[in-house]
Structure 1
Amino acid sequence: MNTAAHSCSIAKGPAESLGVLLGLVRTEIVRAMESELAAQQIGLRFTQFLILKKLARLGPMSASELARAVELDGGAMTRQLDQLEAKGLLRRTPHEQDRRALRIELTAAGDALWQQMTPCNDRVLEAAQRSLSAIEREQLHDYLERVLHALRDKS
């Protein structure tokens, strides 16, 4: 095999497959998380888990802020919020400064469920990294943060 041609195809492959690889990793995390939630008899899908996670970690926010945080369009967010509100896990409350706006916040039941789901999340993320050493985990985190920063950098 021609070494120059071979090295060129090797150099080209990883750059082309980065998006695919990241997509596959995300798909497997979603699958594993939904499996973990089902095993714990928590009747939520991954998107609903993410909504509760964002509210638990960031506190009350508007529906549009929450939609951006979990990458949903407005219609899909409204459907998810309706379902989670019907389950008693969150509530819509009037915004303190803007009477026209609503804030989405966890209920006590939503917070309790989040506390129950946290170990599920931890198990999935631990399993995803089980073949990595502590140093490799730090490096992976650093690399992914740098990729994210580069993609968000508009300069």
Structure 2
Amino acid sequence: MNTESIAFSSPRESLGVLLGLVRAEIVRAMEAEIATKGLELKFTQFLILKRLARLGPMSATELARSVELDGGAMTRQLDQLERRGYLRRRPHQQDRRALRIELTDAGDALWRQLNGCNEHVLAAAQASLDADERDRLHDYLERVLFALRNKD
């Protein structure tokens, strides 16, 4: 599919379309960058590793919510990442019935490698913006997100 014709098919796309196209390009660029490292990892798996690295151990439900996956899809992703040795499921300290998902040492090392990919892709995405424009873009997007989350 030719995304260039979609992206520029009208003089000005709606905010929703434009945000969707930007996200799709970031996903594509991240997966390509990850592939240059010789890794077979999808963007969703990258997000799972990122959340665990930044927020620490959490339940599968919390993790699924944070990366916007349903329970079944999350279980499949966790199974794959666990088989590869990047994460483990551990019993919760206070609730024996619950499990906490955490990175292994290999998962933490992988995240450190992937974080460089993330920074590279995001820097390239903003290359045409100066520092003030980057700050304004970030501010605008934060305000849009806040408005959507607090619509009441």
Q: Scaled by the length of structure 1, what TM-score is found? A: 0.89
**Which residues of 2 match residues 107-118 of structure 1 at below 5 A?**
107-118=104-115
CA distance in 1, matches of 2:93, 2:119: 34
Shift of 1:43: 1.4
Q: Deviations over 1:110-141 (max 9, x none)?
A: 00000111110000000000000000000000
Q: Deviations over 1:13-66 (max 9, x none)?
A: 899610000000000000000000001111111000000000000000000000
Tell me whether 1:49 sits opposite 2:41 in the alignment. no
Runs of 4 or more, structure 1, over 6 Å off, are 13-16
Q: Which amino acid counterpart does residue 41 of structure 1 have in structure 2?
A: G
CA distance in 2, matches of 1:15, 1:151: 22
Let me know the Cα RMSD of the aligned residues.
1.4
Aligned match of 1:37 in 16, 34, 38? Answer: 34
Q: Which runs of 5+ in 1 are unaligned?
A: 1-12
Q: Which residue of 2 aligns with 1:77?
A: 74
Q: Which residue of 2 aligns with 1:144?
A: 141
- Count residues in correspondence: 143
Q: Which amino acid counterpart does residue 114 of structure 2 have in structure 1?
A: M
Q: Scaled by the length of structure 2, what TM-score is found? A: 0.91
CA distance in 2, matches of 1:89, 1:98: 24
CA distance in 2, matches of 1:14, 1:138: 25
More helix by share: 1
Percent identity over the alignment is 76
